Amino acid sequence: MFYLQVPDLNVSIIDVEDSALSRLGHFATYSKLSGKQKHLQYLRNSTILDYSGFLCLRTHASLTDDNTLKEMIIEGECRLITERLNLLKPNFLRKYLIKIIDDIRLFNVTDDN
């Protein structure tokens, strides 16, 4: 079990639900376009509202007996998180490699051997 802390968004829960439903619809569409630029652009522009929206949708689904809705929400959330992580990895690796290269350069300059 894990806990997700959602910051105070100063937005009504109805707006969060409406936004989450529309974004879930957009995400379901874009997830089929994995090689398209719009798909990546959508994921880059996603906000904390996406995550709080999924949390809101999960809460709503847990109060219903609609297993299809529950599965769709979980699948959409997992895809969003996976794609966000995939977008972050290359940038992180690039920064990591640049740091290693800089460390090697520094080592070469200061090494007497």
Please give the model's pTM, rounded to 2 decimal places.
0.40
| Digit-coded pLDDT (tens) for 59-85 | 777 777 777 777 777 777 777 666 666
The tokens of 79 are what?
A: 């895809």
Note every long-range contact of 19-23, with CB atoms under 8 Å and residues 24 or more positions apart, other chains counting.
19/49, 19/53, 20/49, 20/50, 20/52, 20/53, 20/54, 20/56, 20/57, 21/53, 21/57, 23/49, 23/50, 23/53
For position 83, what pLDDT does the model report?
Answer: 66
For position 59, what pLDDT does the model report?
Answer: 72
